[in-house]
Amino acid sequence: MESELVSASASTLALDDGIENLQARVSSLKKQLRVQTSTLIAAPSTRELLSGAPRAGKLLAQAAAQEAHNQQCLYRACASITTFRVQDPDPNAVDGGAALGLRVEVVSRAKFLRPYYVLLNRPYPNASRHLRVHRHTVPPCIPLAGLAARHLPPPPAPDQGLARFARSLRREIVRYHHRLGVVADLRKAAGLGRKKKRIAEDEGGEEEQEEERQARGLININPADAEAKQLSIEWVDGRTGRLVLGDDGEILKFVAVGDNGRDRDAVRELLGGAARVDEVVERLASSG
């Protein structure tokens, strides 16, 4: 009776995995179909053919929508920092509620992220034109206060560098998302980005995890701080490590500790002489 239950459980798990894989495959094919369809419709040759074809109104509407989307993407890619005026509805707001908005566009992993916004006002007396950060949606790990103190000093500073502030802010945001991206790539290359699968054996009914991490001995790679400048690494044999990154993903320091203290072999095995995390990702991906 017990063996029949184990066999039924194994069949159910195998069926669930098959359905999950099939759904993922269908979703991927639908996404590829949408991309290829939009590419074909937006082509000038296709639009020329559709313009003279009867009953092509729906396709022409899709082509116009795709062209507008392409223009928006081009604008967001080229004009990565834009300004706009804002009116604060608070009747007691400084400077009559007038504010200047900064919109910061960021692309990460081939996708546009939700824009970041910074609102600036003029709260200083004597009709000073000096700006101050009023509200923002920037992540807490970005040194916004330090950038504002450097480029937007309050009076009696002679002038401010709004353009330098905007460029420095976007640079910090892009660096932050680049570090998050390379951490995700590192996890994937090490076999940690896949969902765990369970397979019941015929006799014992034990569950095993089929992941590449077992071959490399890695069980965890995660950011250890909000800025993603330090990574915590764990091995199956109990060793732990701390990898310190620079602003642009360069490797500043890596220390691994085992039962007998520092383990330099683990450092050489994982890094392989790489100076950047991107190089570690490429090496792990090629060896896998």
Q: Per residue in 186-243, pLDDT tens?
A: 998 888 865 444 433 444 444 444 444 554 688 899 999 999 999 999 999 899 999 9
Q: Does residue 89 carry a pLDDT above 50?
A: yes
Nearest to 176 by CA among 130, 211, 143, 135: 143
Strand partners, 98: 87
pLDDT at residue number 197: 41
Contact, 174 vs 113, CB < 8 A?
no
Question: Dihedrals φ, ψ of 194, to 5°?
Answer: -100, 150
Rounded Cα gap, residues 88 and 120, in angstroms: 11
Question: Whole-model pTM?
Answer: 0.77
Tell me the three state secondary structure of residue 199. strand
pLDDT band at residue 101 under the 50/70/90 scheme: very high
In this structure, the strands spanning 230-235 and 218-223 are antiparallel
pLDDT at residue number 100: 97
* Per-residue 3-state assignment (H helix, E strand, C coil) for 97-115: HEEEEEEECCEECCEECCC
pLDDT band at residue 9 under the 50/70/90 scheme: low
Contacts of 231 (CB under 8 A, 6+ apart): 183, 186, 221, 222, 223, 224, 242, 243, 245
From residue 80, alpha-carbon distances to 1, 63, 146, 251 in Å are: 65, 25, 22, 28
Helix axes 44-51, 2-42, angle to 10 degrees: 70
From residue 217, alpha-carbon distances to 68, 81, 240 in Å are: 49, 44, 11
Query: Is residue 47 exposed (0-12), middle (13-18) or buried (19+ Cβ within 10 Å)?
Result: middle
Q: Does residue 6 carry a pLDDT above 60?
A: no
* Per-residue 3-state assignment (H helix, E strand, C coil) for 219-271: EEEEECCCCCCEEEEEECCCCEEEEEECCCCEEEEEEEEECCEECHHHHHHHH
pLDDT at residue number 208: 43
